[in-house]
Amino acid sequence: MTITDCRDLAVSNADNALVSALENAHEMFLTYSGDPLGEITEVLDAEPDFVMGQIFKAALLTQAMETRIYPELVSTLKTAEALAPRANERERRHIEAIRAWADGDFHGAVDLWDALLVQFPRDLLALQLAHLSDVLLGDTDNQRDRVARILHAWDESVPGYGYVLGLYAFGLEENRDFDIAEECGRRAVAMNPKDAYAIHAVGHVMESQGRQSGGINWMRSREQDWAYSNFANHLWWHLSLYHLDLAQNDQVLDIYDRCLRSTDSSGDRYEELDAAALLWRLELLGVDVGDRWKTLADKWEPSATDTLYAFNDVHAMMTFVADGRWEVAEQVLNAHERYTTAANDANAAMTRTVGQPFCKALKAFAEEQYGEAVDILLPIRYRTRYLGGSHAQRDIIGMTLLEAALRGGRNDLALALASERTALKPTSPMNWRFAARAHRGRGDHTRATEAEAQAIALHG
């Protein structure tokens, strides 16, 4: 008898109890709750020949993007590969995709998951992995279109449809299809209030549109649904962005200290990314963050030369230069040089294109070599999506460029960049404050006063 999961996909070498356990662990992965890795590991300890269980565990480990996790990923993948003769076609395709990922061929892995989805459009794990990989790789078109390609096979009668809508909502938002994105995100949350990713997608819409008060209300009204999830750290970061735009810096620092300032040594890179990204924004805006950099830099330093993922590297560099760890910063740059000379994988390309230049610019900025920072960042500003992450996350590059132009006296450029920001998000007080400073730097005090008044009006 063929055993199938809740979406009628065949599962090899399993019984109904194993499939149920797998689905429970996957539900945790989808909702960023519990310990899906621990759950599936416990299952595999008892049933090591469970093919899809080994695949799921390896798939979870691909998303860590940390050197310390890599050996476990490879070990689990080898176990899955050894079980491949017992696997069905869909499962073998998963194994092939994870092997490509482990070998550094991220784009090849995504292509394999995409081909799998053409034949098995209800494979929610393949869709989730491909979508999250699109985010890691900065493939904004496929963040939307990859989900759209499988919608024909889904409706409310298919378990997990709400999660599909949540993924689609984020992809739509990243392509500035804000109205449809918000509609899909809210539908997903209505179907499952604990869907942290869908809550996050709606939050992205409001941040992108400059709806600060609405964003604060949205996040606070859903706080009990996400605050205890494994995604909470990132959602606290999103909440802090609304307050940052409104210059409510005391509230930003309060969120940092209560929710982002981890003092343990778990080495959770996702937590550290959000913390570094928030502190650097505060630094750019001239806010004194006290001794907060030191703890964060201490956590990043052991992995300073990992070069596993460029997005991690730039956030590590923020902590090193902000805390005056110049030798460590040089180690990062030297590691980049060695890596990009020797390697030709997906991350090497991401590092060459954006990661390495941005790290150099961060160091120049911290050394008050603002002109150098501008000269490095200006040519890559339309390539920054190749760093991965979201528009909201990558905006830190544009903010660094603009602030470097202001501090370096490049006021005509600063005004042009500030004008671009106010046109894109005219309801952002922060953008109007940037514009006011640029006008003042050019000696146009009347326009500076007008821009400041606009910022005050929006803040009010």
Compute, in degrees rounded to 10, the torsion defined by CA atoms 349, 354, 357, 361. Answer: -160
Check whether 288 has a pLDDT greater than 70: yes
The answer to whether 30 touches 163, Cβ cutoff 8 Å, is yes
What pLDDT sits at residue 65?
82
What pLDDT sits at residue 66?
81
What pLDDT sits at residue 308?
86
When pLDDT is averaged across residues 372-387 and rounded to a whole number, the result is 96
**Which of 319-329 are b and which e, b meaning 16 or more Cβ less than 10 Å from the residue's Cβ?**
bbbbbebeebb
- What is the DSSP code (8-state) at residue 66? -
Which pLDDT band, with edges at 50, 70 and 90, does 167 fall under? very high
**What average pLDDT does the structure give for the chain?**
95
| SS (HEC) of the chain | CCCECCCCCECCCCCHHHHHHHHHHHHHHHHCCCCHHHHHHHHHHHCCCCHHHHHHHHHHHHCCCCHHHHHHHHHHHHHHHHCHHHCCHHHHHHHHHHHHHHCCCHHHHHHHHHHHHHHCCCCHHHHHHHHHHHHHHCCHHHHHHHHHCCHHHCCCCCCCHHHHHHHHHHHHHHCCCHHHHHHHHHHHHHHCCCCHHHHHHHHHHHHHHCCHHHHHHHHHHCHHHHCCCCCHHHHHHHHHHHHHHCCCHHHHHHHHHHHHCCCCCCCCHHHHHHHHHHHHHHHHCCCCCCCHHHHHHHHHHHHCCCCCCHHHHHHHHHHHHHCCCHHHHHHHHHHHHHHHHHCCCHHHHHHHHHHHHHHHHHHHHHCCCHHHHHHHHHHHCCCHHHHCCCHHHHHHHHHHHHHHHHHCCCHHHHHHHHHHHHHHCCCCHHHHHHHHHHHHHCCCHHHHHHHHHHHHHHHC
Q: What is the pLDDT of residues 234-245, one digit of tens each?
A: 999 999 999 999
Least confident of 55-59, 229-233, 360-364, 429-433: 229-233
When pLDDT is averaged across residues 407-411 and rounded to a whole number, the result is 97
**Which of 201-219 are b and which e, b meaning 16 or more Cβ less than 10 Å from the residue's Cβ?**
bbbbbbbbbbbbebbbebb
Check whether 1 has a pLDDT greater than 80: no
Nearest residue to 240 (alpha-carbon basis) of 221, 253, 231 = 253
What pLDDT sits at residue 162?
98
What pLDDT sits at residue 262?
64
**Which of 3-27 are b and which e, b meaning 16 or more Cβ less than 10 Å from the residue's Cβ?**
eebebebebbbbeeebbebbbebbb
Q: What is the pTM of this model?
A: 0.96
Q: What is the pLDDT of residues 191-218, one digit of tens each?
A: 999 999 999 999 999 999 999 999 999 9
- What is the DSSP code (8-state) at residue 425? -
Check whether 268 has a pLDDT greater than 60: no
Which pLDDT band, with edges at 50, 70 and 90, does 264 fall under? low
Q: What is the pLDDT of residues 4-27, one digit of tens each?
A: 999 999 999 999 999 999 999 999
Q: What is the pLDDT of residues 314-344, one digit of tens each?
A: 999 999 999 999 999 999 999 999 999 998 8
Check whether 263 has a pLDDT greater than 70: no
Which pLDDT band, with edges at 50, 70 and 90, does 269 fall under? low
What pLDDT sits at residue 2?
85
The answer to whether 25 touches 36, Cβ cutoff 8 Å, is yes
Question: CA 238, CA 272: separation in Å to the nearest integer?
Answer: 14
